[in-house]
Amino acid sequence: MRNLVRFVQKYHFVLLFLLLESLCVYLLSNSHSYHRAALINTSNALTGEVYQTKSNITGYFSLGFHNDLLALENAQLHDRIAELEEMVDSTSHQSDHVHFRHIPAKVISNTVHFRNNYILINKGRLDGVKPDMGIISPDGVAGIVTGVSDHYATALSLLHRYARISVMFRKSGQLANLTWTGENYRYGLVEDIPAHLKIVEGDTVVTSGHSLIFPEGIMVGTIKEYIEPAGSSLNKAILNMSTDFNMLRQVYVVFNSDQQEIDQLRKANIHE
């Protein structure tokens, strides 16, 4: 026993180092999966407050630019309203579409240059934000909510090792998956493309709506370069992402208003 005490006294520096370092590696490896990433709660009061203050200050510098963007988006929305009104007039019956709602939010912290990037937004549980809701920008898909506190929420950016969303080619309706390889924040990688599908540079890729996180048909990007297949039946292509992650500010949290019902159905399936 006395030897043990002496051993600990003698090597306390190395022992403490090993202890702390293994704690860090444990924390780190735990954060390396999609669902556990949700546990990291940046969305806690202190950091939220600090980033909100900073965002309040820096927000002024780009006001003009973002006003223009918003005005543009407004215009597009008006167009859409007009189109939809026409459709409503011509068809009187209820559409069978899935119902999605939008919560406007502001990005208060966001990175693009790490291997795994997160977005922090200023809407939280009290505003109705819940994990697994989608985040879209006016230009396209941006991320998926993983952790929420009362007034803030963290989201996995598409620029993350574990961000993987189901997409489809607008022209052909063929499904594929989108991931990010970590090199350039402007480009994503479309995987699992059926080999028979002819892809042309500039083809538009949109969300498939299969995951129910994002509505169908939200812009994701355009094909930049097709990667020649190497013997596999599933091909890849480089995607020019439509969202500029480096200047993400105004975003919308989208959620399916029928989510509870769908979850209950899924749970019922599991129990049987």
Task: Tell me if 6 contacts another protein by CB under 8 A.
Answer: no
φ/ψ (deg, to 5) at 68 = -60, -45
Type and span of the H or E element at 143 = strand 140-148
- What x/- string results for residues 182 through 201 when contact with another protein is judged by CB under 8 A? xxx-----------------
Query: Residues 8, 25, 81, 234: which binds another protein (CB under 8 A)?
Result: 25
**Residues 147 to 176 in contact with another protein, rule: CB under 8 A:** 154
Query: Does 113 contact another protein by CB under 8 A?
Result: yes
- Of the residues 7, 11, 26, 65, which one makes contact with another protein according to CB under 8 A: 26
Number of residues near another protein (by CB under 8 A): 36
Judge whether 106 and 249 are in contact, CB under 8 Å.
yes
- Does residue 211 touch another protein according to CB under 8 A? no
Report the length, in residues, of the chain: 272
Stretch that binds another protein, among 36-44, 72-80, 90-98, 128-136 (CB under 8 A): 36-44
3-state secondary structure of 87: helix
**Shortest Cβ distance from residue 157 to another protein (Å)?**
10
Residue 183, CA distances (Å) to 13, 220, 238 in order = 38, 18, 12
Per-residue tokens: 155: 């989201």
Sign of the four-CA dihedral 92, 97, 101, 107: negative
Among 17, 83, 210, 263, binds another protein (CB under 8 A): 17
